[in-house]
């Protein structure tokens, strides 16, 4: 009986003295408070459970989501929903654990994300946060986070500003202002188009005027007399008409 019990105890001890490191993790053995120098990757790693314990650190891409109240440039309070995608550099995982412990995400990531988001958003007006400058804001937050926490072994993959929620009256005022700006741009386009049309009509009128002047200059008395004779000649050759020449009067066209 005692022998079977001993076997069971030894079996349990062996099972509990193995660390399973899964894909997307790195593992260390902490012995008497000191971490092993080398990380242990995928697989089963034995350790002495009497003096050691396993430490596993996630190196996958992780999403951190925050719902914050941020200031705008005008001093308005705006609700912002923001996500941060980051991961730990596998080569720096030990430094991260040594400096921040298991709560590294709350201590290093979330605190810096909150502060940086408020600082960047305060540079923009409410309408820019709401409608036009989201990409710049995301890039600004990501860049400043890299400057603050990359030195510790964190890699920033992306910052996503998911939603901006403002009081209804402010949202309505911004929408009305944007609509007014769009209407102004439309009116400017219409005015510019009308000016171009007026210029086209003036050019066309000037061309007609010059053409008419050329025709008028060419239509002297001799030219008119010649065209008059050509017209009579054309009429005289028609079988359906006759011309009577009267003394000192214009010819008379008579239908047969």
Report the pLDDT value the prediction gives residue 118, as an integer from 0 to 100. 92
Over residues 74-103, mean pLDDT: 89
What are the chain's domains? 2-58 (no CATH), 62-166 (3.30.479.30), 219-254 (no CATH)
CA nearest neighbour of 59 among 30, 83, 94? 94
Report the pLDDT value the prediction gives residue 140, as an integer from 0 to 100. 92
Instruction: Work out whether strand 77-88 and strand 154-165 pair parallel, antiparallel, or are unpaired.
Output: antiparallel
Prediction pTM value = 0.58
Separation between Cα atoms, residue 57 and residue 81, nearest integer Å: 27
- Integer distance in angstroms from the first to the last C-alpha of the chain? 148
Query: Residue 115 — pLDDT band, cuts 50, 70, 90?
Result: very high
Report the range out of 41-45, 122-126, 162-166 with the highest average pLDDT. Answer: 122-126
Over residues 197-213, mean pLDDT: 83
Query: DSSP letter at 40?
Result: B
Q: In the predicted model, is pLDDT for residue 250 greater than 60?
A: no
Separation between Cα atoms, residue 236 and residue 225, nearest integer Å: 16
Q: In the predicted model, is pLDDT for residue 4 greater than 60?
A: no
Instruction: Work out whether strand 242-244 and strand 34-35 pair parallel, antiparallel, or are unpaired.
Output: unpaired
Q: In the predicted model, is pLDDT for residue 3 greater than 60?
A: no
Over residues 103-119, mean pLDDT: 92
What tens digit of pLDDT does each residue of 98-109 get? 889 888 999 999
Q: Mean pLDDT check: name the lowest of 68-77, 208-217, 224-233, 244-253.
A: 244-253
Determine the length of the chain: 256
Report the pLDDT value the prediction gives residue 244, as an integer from 0 to 100. 52
């Amino acid at each position: 009986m005692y022998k079977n019990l001993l076997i069971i105890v030894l079996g349990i001890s062996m099972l509990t003295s193995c660390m399973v490191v899964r894909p997307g993790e790195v593992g260390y053995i902490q012995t008497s408070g000191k971490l092993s120098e080398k990380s242990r990757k995928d697989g089963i790693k034995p350790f002495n459970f009497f003096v050691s314990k396993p430490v596993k650190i996630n190196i996958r891409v992780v999403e951190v989501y925050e719902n914050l109240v941020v200031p705008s440039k005008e001093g308005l309070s705006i609700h912002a929903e923001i996500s941060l995608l980051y991961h730990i550099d596998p080569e720096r995982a030990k430094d991260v654990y040594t400096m921040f412990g298991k709560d590294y995400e709350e201590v290093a990531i979330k605190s810096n994300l909150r502060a940086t988001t408020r600082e960047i958003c305060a540079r923009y007006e409410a309408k820019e946060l709401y409608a036009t400058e989201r990409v710049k804001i995301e890039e600004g937050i990501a860049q400043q986070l890299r400057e603050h926490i990359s030195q510790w072994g964190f890699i920033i993959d992306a910052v996503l500003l998911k939603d901006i929620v403002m009081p209804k009256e402010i949202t309505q005022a911004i929408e009305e202002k944007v609509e007014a700006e769009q209407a102004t741009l439309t009116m400017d386009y219409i005015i510019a188009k009308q000016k171009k049309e007026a210029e086209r009509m003036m050019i066309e009128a000037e061309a007609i005027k010059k053409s008419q002047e050329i025709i008028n200059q060419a239509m002297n008395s001799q030219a008119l007399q010649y065209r008059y004779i050509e017209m009579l000649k054309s009429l005289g050759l028609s079988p359906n008409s006759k011309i009577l020449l009267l003394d000192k009067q214009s010819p008379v066209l008579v239908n047969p």
